[in-house]
Amino acid sequence: DADVTQTPRNRITKTGKRIMLECSQTKGHDRMYWYRQDPGLGLRLIYYSFDVKDINKGEISDGYSVSRQAQAKFSLSLESAIPNQTALYFCATSLNNYGYTFGSGTRLTVV
């Protein structure tokens, strides 16, 4: 099993719909992150969490929300999806500043 698992792997949704992307990890890491990847823009941080009671906004948090249900689970929600949220979304975990472990990504298309 993968250390960081993201579900779903692919999703197509309609404008205005609420959608949740889920991330779970078996690394035992305290820190979890959500990034989106767009061509030519690299990865941009949406939200991050250092423990269950800690939630922080990243560079591009507008239109997104998160929930840290447990140390191992960190979900990203789009309350009302719009087409410019079409992107590849990655969850990552870390124990310290020596590197992330990434999930395989969720490809989201908003039509």
Partner 1 sequence: GNSVTQMEGPVTLSEEAFLTINCTYTATGYPSLFWYVQYPGEGLQLLLKATKADDKGSNKGFEATYRKETTSFHLEKGSVQVSDSAVYFCALTAQNTGNQFYFGTGTSLTVIP
Residues of the shown chain interacting with partner 1 in the complex, contacts defined by CB under 8 A: 4, 31, 33, 40-43, 45, 48, 50, 56, 58, 90, 92, 94, 96-105
Nearer to partner 1, 18 or 57 (CB): 57
Quote the least distance from Cβ 80 to partner 1, whole Å. Answer: 27
Closest CA to 18 of 83, 77, 90, 87: 77
Quote the least distance from Cβ 15 to partner 1, whole Å. Answer: 26
Quote the least distance from Cβ 10 to partner 1, whole Å. Answer: 11
Q: What is the DSSP letter of 79?
A: S
Residues facing residue 64 across a β-bridge: 78
Nearer to partner 1, 4 or 78 (CB): 4
Q: What is the DSSP letter of 10?
A: E
Helix residue ranges per DSSP H, 38-109: none
Q: Are 7 and 106 in contact (CB under 8 A)?
A: yes
Nearer to partner 1, 59 or 79 (CB): 59
Nearer to partner 1, 80 or 92 (CB): 92
Closest CA to 63 of 33, 38, 32, 36: 36
